Amino acid sequence: MRTKSFNSVLSKYKAVFLDSYGVIKNHAGLIPDVQKAINHIRLTGMPLRVLTNDASRSPLLLAENFDKLGLRGIKPSEIITSGMMAKEYLVNKGKKGKVAYLGTNNSADYIRDADLEPISISKVNEANMHEISAVVFLDDEGYDWNKDLNTTVNLLRKYQIPAIVANSDVIYPVSKNNVAIATGGVAGLVENILGRDFIHYGKPDSQMFMYGFEQLNKIRKFNRKDILMVGDTLHTDILGGNKFGISTVLVLTGNTSAEEAQIKIKATGVIPDYICKSIVE
Ligand SMILES: [Mg+2]
């Protein structure tokens, strides 16, 4: 499959979903000239949504972070996170009381937004364990991987409460050649120990795509064939977009390099509709 110019692909669609990490930014900061790409999308007048497997902070803080990096004009209301899906679960399931979380204080905003009381896993002990109504894995930092994971295992052994993984990614790139263990990797360890599958949110699952699709349809009528999903990862962005029935673009600015794109596509059977070098070119 030959790479195409992003703008020529975009011109066939009426709305666009962009992944964040590996598409708009990466470990080094913003993708060079990404402001030009966002400006172009704005010029077309088409709605844009950022779909990110990130539960470490709220859309408000993520929008502020884009701004701090120097990217202007992404509104918090345009950002859809896997953390928001976890929040919806807590609201819809009518959870009450304290929700234990693995993550930073920023990530606990998702529990506060559900009108529930967050309690850091580091504050959970024998005396208050019975008050916990759910456990949410929000981030890979903000807790002690030894002490607090032991608390998590014991809490979930003793009490029949749901465990929610708000970001299923197992690793994320931190430099050209190195990765770090992500939230889904930490949760996977606990799932493995308990022999239990937790409730997972984030791409490739359809909830975020559905949420974005419903938001667009509040603006005006959109069909799935009008929407383009852009991502750097085959098994999340592209698989999720394909399953949801929207067109997909693989970009080569993140997880999938130009050298390995064809091999990975062949090996996984996850086939994007297009490949573009980046959203800028
Ligand atoms: Mg990505």
What DSSP string describes 140-191? SSSS-TTHHHHHHHHHHHHS---EEES----EEESSSS-EEE-HHHHHHHHH
Distance 36 CA to ligand 1 centre (A): 19
Q: Which CATH architecture has domain 84-200?
A: 3-Layer(aba) Sandwich (3.40)
Mean pLDDT by 10 residues, the chain (281 residues): 94 98 94 97 97 96 97 97 96 90 97 96 97 97 98 98 94 88 97 97 96 97 98 97 98 93 96 98 87
Tokens standing for 31? 């993708």
Distance 182 CA to ligand 1 centre (A): 13
Strand partners, 50: 18, 79
Phi-psi group of 142: left, alpha or beta (phi > 0 → left; psi -120 to 50 → alpha; rest → beta): left
Distance 132 CA to ligand 1 centre (A): 33
Distance 173 CA to ligand 1 centre (A): 9
- The string over 182-219, giving b where at least 16 C-beta atoms fall within 10 Å of a residue's C-beta and e elsewhere, is bbbbbbbbbbeeeeeebebbbbbbebbbebbbebbeee
pLDDT at 126: 95
Instruction: Please give the order of strands across the beta sheet that includes 227-231.
Output: 79-81, 48-52, 15-18, 227-231, 247-251, 274-276
Distance 234 CA to ligand 1 centre (A): 9
Residue whose tokens read 């308990």: 194
E strand or H helix at 25, and its extent? strand 25-26
Measured CA to CA, the distance from residue 241 to residue 223 in angstroms comes to 14
Predicted structure pTM score? 0.94
What would the 3-class secondary structure string for 112-147 be?
HHCCCEEEEHHHCCCCCHHHEEEEEECCCCCCCCCH
CB 232 within 8 A of CB 255: yes
Distance 113 CA to ligand 1 centre (A): 25
Distance 43 CA to ligand 1 centre (A): 24
Please give the CATH topology (third level) of the domain spanning 6-53+204-276: Rossmann fold (3.40.50)
Distance 175 CA to ligand 1 centre (A): 14
Distance 214 CA to ligand 1 centre (A): 22
Measured CA to CA, the distance from residue 201 to residue 278 in angstroms comes to 26
Distance 22 CA to ligand 1 centre (A): 4
pLDDT at 141: 96
Distance 26 CA to ligand 1 centre (A): 8
State the span(s) of the chain assigned CATH 3.40.50.1000.
6-53+204-276, 84-200
Tokens standing for 170? 């197992």
